[in-house]
């Protein structure tokens, strides 16, 4: 996603939701992780203004919060797509053409690993293993798994999600 899009999204953050979440945890020492998890669930990512609000309300440094956010892979600092496409790059998938599947995604929707389309519809991620080696090559789109993929099957999966709102 372009920096301009990310910047505009972050500048327009309504902090009402974050304040409501923080209100629930304000008297609980050590509540940073659940606060960040709920903020991400609410916004879909951790907007920068919520980091500063959280630091102020929980009386911690913003640098401590960023330390947590960058250490744990579960947290995201930029908006992500409605559909998260996880491409397995494990050994079985790699041997059976996962690179070709990743290339197909890049060709069709214009994003590669850790990138999001400007319309916030898709985010692509290459992951170490999905745990479905018998179905290699395999991807997940949100919670749905698609295996034994070919370029043609990948096109069909993408077409299905491109039609959805």
Is residue 5 pLDDT above 60, yes or no? Answer: no
Tens-place pLDDT, residues 82-137: 999 999 999 999 999 999 999 999 999 999 999 999 999 999 999 999 999 999 99
CA separation for the pair 19, 121 (Å, rounded): 27
User: CB 90: neighbour CB atoms within 10 A?
Assistant: 18
Tell me the CATH number for domain 83-163.
3.40.30.10
Cα 98-100-103 angle, rounded to 5 deg: 110
Residue 11 is predicted with a pLDDT of: 59
Residue 3 is predicted with a pLDDT of: 46
> In sequence order, what DSSP letters do the residues of 71-124 get, joined into one string?
H-TT--SS---SEEEEEE-SHHHHHTTHHHHHHHHHHHHS--TTEE-TTSSEEE
Helix (H) or strand (E) holding 160: helix 151-163
Residue 165 is predicted with a pLDDT of: 77
Tens-place pLDDT, residues 15-38: 999 999 999 999 898 999 999 999
Higher-pLDDT residue of 10 and 125 is 125
CA separation for the pair 17, 21 (Å, rounded): 6
Tens-place pLDDT, residues 52-90: 999 999 999 999 999 999 999 899 999 999 999 999 999
What pTM was computed for the model?
Answer: 0.78
Residue spans in the chain of domains classed CATH 3.40.30.10: 83-163
Asked whether the bond before 119 is cis by omega within 30 degrees of 0, the reply is no
């Amino acid at each position: 996603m372009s920096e301009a899009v990310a910047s505009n999204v972050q500048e327009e953050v309504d902090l009402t939701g974050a304040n409501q979440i923080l209100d629930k945890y304000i008297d609980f020492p050590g509540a940073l992780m659940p606060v960040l998890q709920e903020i991400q669930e609410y916004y879909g990512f951790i907007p920068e203004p919520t980091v500063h609000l959280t630091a102020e309300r929980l009386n911690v440094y913003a640098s401590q919060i960023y330390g947590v956010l960058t250490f744990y892979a579960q947290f995201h600092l930029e908006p992500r797509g409605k559909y998260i496409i996880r491409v397995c790059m494990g050994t079985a998938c790699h041997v059976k053409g996962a690179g070709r599947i990743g290339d197909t995604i890049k060709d069709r929707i214009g994003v590669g690993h850790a990138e999001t389309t400007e319309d916030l519809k898709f985010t692509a991620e290459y992951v170490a293993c999905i745990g479905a080696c018998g179905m290699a090559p395999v991807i997940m789109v949100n919670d749905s798994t698609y295996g034994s993929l070919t370029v043609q099957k990948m096109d069909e999966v993408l077409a299905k999600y491109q039609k959805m709102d």
